[in-house]
Structure 1
Amino acid sequence: MSIWKKRIKKWSYEVTGIAIGAFIFAFGLNYFIIANRLAEGGLTGVVLILHYLFHWPVGPTYLALNLPLFIAGWRFLGRDFAWKTLVGTALVSLAIELTKHFQAPMAEDLFLAALYGGGAVGIGLGIIFYLGGSTGGADILARFINQYWGWPVGRGLLLVDTIVIVAVGIFFGLTVALYTLVAVFVATRVIDFVQEGAYSAKAAMIISDKRSEIAEAVVDKLGRGATLFSGRGAYTDQDKEVLYCVVSRNELVRLKALVYECDPKAFMIINDVHEVFGEGFRRWPYKKKKGVVDG
């Protein structure tokens, strides 16, 4: 297969996936959020405020507000990401218009509307982000803030969302703003879930004078690898070896029991790990290109 055929196949796969994500996002937005006069964060929230106040159509307004930002931010995005952003924005706008008649008013339980709406929006955006795309809006604004004010992108996104939700509270009341906050929170969590997957692991950092015994037990009884780091205790001013290992969630209890069995005085720190690639865990989601030399 020629390189152009591979590129076309890859592009077709990504555009199809982004289109599916766009329609899931649009359906959740119309069916739950707009039907119950709730809002969203970012530029989507601005579009919904304009829709509720002036009855502007959501799809065309979404596209109209995104295009100037997209043109202004083109040089910050990079060619591939910029094209995917343009495709994602256009498909979301189209999907919103095609699904605008699908609505389910749930005035008796706005919490469920916020919950399901945030979930659907999160699934749609998660698919788009997973494929390397974007829907523009707050992403581009956050990059502008980073470029000219030096703020991290995450802080810029938080600023935009905060301003929008405050505006929702001013125009439509505290109740709508709070339910909107629920929808935004659920959406962000679902986006992370879609991108990272249901799989998660636990990383353990163990400081013990019996690190060799613990490492042997981890390898022999759990079948996991371990790494030793050199360290120095600040209080004792003595050299220490720190044992680091990653296990699946269902192996954590066994790991703690093994550590305690080897050294009840061991110091152990456990952290959540959302993605692990390599032997014994997930495969890398990339393929090595021919002609690339290691080193």
Structure 2
Amino acid sequence: MTHPDPSVRHTLTEDAMAFVLSTSMCGFGLIMLTHLGLITGQTAGLAVLISYMTGWSFGAVFFVVNIPFYALALLRMGWRFTLKSFVAVGLLSVMTLLLPDLISFDTLNPIAGAAFAGAFIGIGLMVLFRHGGSLGGIGVVALYLQDKTGFRAGWTQLGFDITLMVTAFFVIGGAPIVWSLLGAVVTNLIIAVNHRADRYTGR
């Protein structure tokens, strides 16, 4: 088994490209889900749910919800991870404000939309994780547990997502929750299967 070399780091240009790509993919997935009246998992899903309930902007809610998790990130994961996560959260907040004016859907099947959105978000998160960042919230906890215990980040996130979906059932109803859960399962399966410390050594 190989182990990551902490001296191997991505360049600033590589990180910048990865952060724009990852937040664009996650933002596109979120636009698909909100168009369908669905939610995603993790802290972004919590922010979407609060946005549905209050009418507040997702970008603003998402940014505020993540603030308490920065303290955990700084204490347990270091300033570099915290700074990168802060930047990623800010970028995603901007993406969700810009993309609705650039993209629209005439036809979007809820099952296909949930599955594709889950895939876009899962791949986007994996790119972000591999460049030493996260979208804050439960992602910070999941990555910390994986680093310290080996328990896959995808499984931690899936447990949180199931709890979130049960709560959301009382807000958005039955069928949308089923499709939302499908998207969350796709997202977390991609992360759980592919994001392993022994398979990727970049930082």
Q: Which category of TM-score, normalised to the shorter sequence, fits these structures? A: 0.7 to 0.9
For residues 132-169 of structure 1, give each alpha carbon's deviation from its aligned partner in whole angstroms, at most 9, with x where no partner exists: 2111111235589x7xxx9x675653442122111121
Q: Are the counterparts in 2 of residues 59 and 97 from structure 1 also a CA contact under 8 Å?
A: yes
Q: Are the counterparts in 1 of residues 115 and 182 from structure 2 also a CA contact under 8 Å?
A: yes
For residues 48-104 of structure 1, give each alpha carbon's deviation from its aligned partner in whole angstroms, at most 9, with x where no partner exists: 111112111111111111123213542112122122111211111111111133242
SS at match of 1:99: helix
Q: Whole-Å Cα distance in 2 between the matches of residues 9 and 162 of structure 1?
A: 34
Give the share of equivalent positions with the same residue, in percent.
20
RMSD between superposed Cα atoms in Å: 3.0
Q: Give the aligned residue type for 1:89.
A: V
- Name the CA shift for 1:106/1:60 in 2 (closer, same or farther; >3 Å): same
Structure 2 counterparts to residues 66-105 of structure 1, below 5 A: 66-101=66-101, 102-104=103-105
- Name the CA shift for 1:164/1:103 in 2 (closer, same or farther; >3 Å): farther
Q: Are the counterparts in 1 of residues 73 and 81 from structure 2 also a CA contact under 8 Å?
A: no
SS at match of 1:100: helix
- Name the CA shift for 1:9/1:163 in 2 (closer, same or farther; >3 Å): closer
Where is the strand percentage greater, Structure 1 or Structure 2?
Answer: 1
Corresponding position of 1:181: 181
Corresponding position of 1:121: 121
SS at match of 2:11: helix
Give the Å deviation of 1:188. Answer: 2.1
Structure 2 counterparts to residues 56-71 of structure 1, below 5 A: 56-71=56-71
Corresponding position of 1:18: 19
TM-score, length basis structure 1? 0.56
Q: Whole-Å Cα distance in 2 between the matches of residues 194 and 8 of structure 1?
A: 20
Give the Å deviation of 1:40. Answer: 0.9
SS at match of 1:56: coil
Q: Number of residues paired by the alignment?
A: 188
For residues 157-214 of structure 1, give each alpha carbon's deviation from its aligned partner in whole angstroms, at most 9, with x where no partner exists: 3442122111121211121111011101112233456657xxxxxxxxxxxxxxxxxx
Structure 2 counterparts to residues 208-223 of structure 1, below 5 A: none
Task: Identify unmatched segments of 5+ residues in structure 2.
Answer: 1-7
Task: Identify unmatched segments of 5+ residues in structure 1.
Answer: 1-6, 197-273, 276-283, 287-295
Q: Give the aligned residue type for 1:11.
A: L
Corresponding position of 2:168: 168
Structure 2 counterparts to residues 238-277 of structure 1, below 5 A: 275=199
Q: Are the counterparts in 2 of residues 106 and 113 from structure 1 also a CA contact under 8 Å?
A: no
Q: Whole-Å Cα distance in 2 between the matches of residues 130 and 141 of structure 1?
A: 16
Q: Which moved further from structure 2: 41-50 or 79-88? A: 79-88
TM-score, length basis structure 2? 0.79
Q: Give the aligned residue type for 2:95.
A: A
Corresponding position of 2:4: none
Q: Are the counterparts in 2 of residues 127 and 195 from structure 1 also a CA contact under 8 Å?
A: no
- Higher relative contact order at CA 8 Å, sep ≥6: structure 1 or structure 2? 2
Q: Are the counterparts in 2 of residues 168 and 176 from structure 1 also a CA contact under 8 Å?
A: no
Give the Å deviation of 1:33. Answer: 0.4
- Name the CA shift for 1:193/1:21 in 2 (closer, same or farther; >3 Å): farther
- Report which of the two structures shows the higher radius of gyration computed on alpha carbons: 1
Corresponding position of 2:40: 40
